[in-house]
Chain A
Amino acid sequence: MSEPLLKVRDLQVEFHTDKGVARALDGISFDVMPGETLGIVGESGCGKSVTSLAILGLIPSPPGRIVGGQILFQGQDLLSLSEREMRKVRGRDIAMIFQEPMTALDPVFTIATQMGEVLRRHQGLTRKQARQSAIDWLARVGIPSPERRIDDYPHQLSGGMRQRVMIAMALSCEPKLIIADEPTTALDVTIQAQVLEQIVKLSQDLGTAMMLITHDLGVVAQTCHRACVMYCGKLIEQSATGPLFAAPAHPYTAGLLASVPRIRTQRLDSLPTIAGTVPDLLHLPRGCRFVERCGQAIDLCHSAHPPLQVDEHSGHELACYNPVQGEAR
Chain B
Amino acid sequence: MLQYTLKKLLAGLPLILGVTFISFVLMVYFGPDKTYELAGKNPTEEQIAQIRADLGYDQPFFKRYTNYVIELATLNFGHSDSTGERVTRLLGRTIPISLALTLPGFVLGNVIGILLALLAAYYRSTWIDKSIMTFAVVGMSVSFLIIIIGFQVMFSSAYGLNMFPVRGWSMDTLGEYLYYVTVPTLAIVFVSLGYNTRFYRAVIVEELGKDHIRTARAYGASARSILLKRVLKNSMIPIITRIMFSIPLVVISGSLLIESYFGIPGVGKVTYDAITTGDQPVLKAVVGATAVLFVVVLIVTDVLYRLFDPRVELK
Contact = CB atoms under 8 A, between A and B. Distances in A.
B123 to A, nearest CB: 11
Given A62-B125, A153-B310, A155-B311, A121 B211 contact: no
The range of chain B's interface size is: 20 to 34
Contacts of A155: 310-311
Nearest to A103: B211
A262 interface: no
Nearest to A106: B212
B217 A90 contact: yes
Given A62-B125, A91-B218, A104-B215, 8 more contacts: A56-B218, A95-B218, A103-B212, A107-B234, A109-B233, A118-B219, A122-B220, A153-B311
Interface string A17-59: 0000000000000000000000000000000000000001010
A96 interface: yes
Contacts of A118: 219-220
Interface in B206-247: 209-223, 225, 230, 233-234, 236
B33 interface: no
- Interface pairs A-B: 3 shortest CB-CB: A91-B219, A103-B211, A90-B220
Interface in A66-117: 83, 87-92, 95-96, 98, 100, 103-109, 117
Interface string B299-314: 0000000001111000
Contacts of B236: 108
A210 interface: no
A87 B212 contact: no
A235 interface: no
Contact of A106 (B125, B218, B223, B230): B230
A96 B218 contact: yes
Interface of B is mostly: helix
Contacts of B216: 106
Interface in A149-182: 153, 155, 166, 169
A91 B309 CA distance: 26
Contact of A98 (B124, B209, B211, B311): B211
B212 A107 contact: yes
Nearest to B225: A117
A217 to B, nearest CB: 26
Contacts of A153: 310-311
Contacts of A92: 220
Given A62-B124, A92-B220, A106 B309 contact: no
B311 A107 contact: yes
B234 A95 contact: no
B222 A98 contact: no
Interface of A: 56, 58, 60, 62, 83, 87-92, 95-96, 98, 100, 103-109, 117-118, 121-122, 153, 155, 166, 169
B221 A117 contact: yes
A108 B220 contact: no
B221 A58 contact: no
Nearest to B210: A103
B133 to A, nearest CB: 15
Contacts of B222: 87
Interface string B175-216: 000000000000000000000000000000000011111111
Nearest to A63: B125
A88 B219 CA distance: 9
B220 A91 contact: yes
A100 B214 CA distance: 12
Contacts of A105: 212, 215
A88 B222 CA distance: 10
A58 B219 contact: no
Contacts of B230: 106, 109
Contacts of B124: 62
A107 B233 CA distance: 10
A264 B309 CA distance: 51
A210 B218 CA distance: 16
26 contacts: A58-B217, A60-B209, A62-B124, A83-B223, A87-B221, A90-B219, A91-B219, A92-B220, A95-B219, A96-B215, A96-B218, A103-B210, A103-B212, A104-B211, A106-B212, A107-B310, A107-B311, A108-B234, A108-B308, A109-B230, A117-B221, A117-B225, A118-B220, A121-B219, A153-B311, A155-B310
Nearest to A94: B218
A21 to B, nearest CB: 16
B305 to A, nearest CB: 11
B296 to A, nearest CB: 25
Most buried by A among B219, B223, B233: B219
A58 B220 contact: no
A112 to B, nearest CB: 13
Contacts of A88: 220
B255 to A, nearest CB: 34
Contacts of B211: 98, 100, 103-104
Given A62-B125, A103-B212, A108 B219 contact: no
A117 to B, nearest CB: 7
A113 to B, nearest CB: 9
A103 B211 CA distance: 6
A60 B208 CA distance: 10
B307 to A, nearest CB: 11
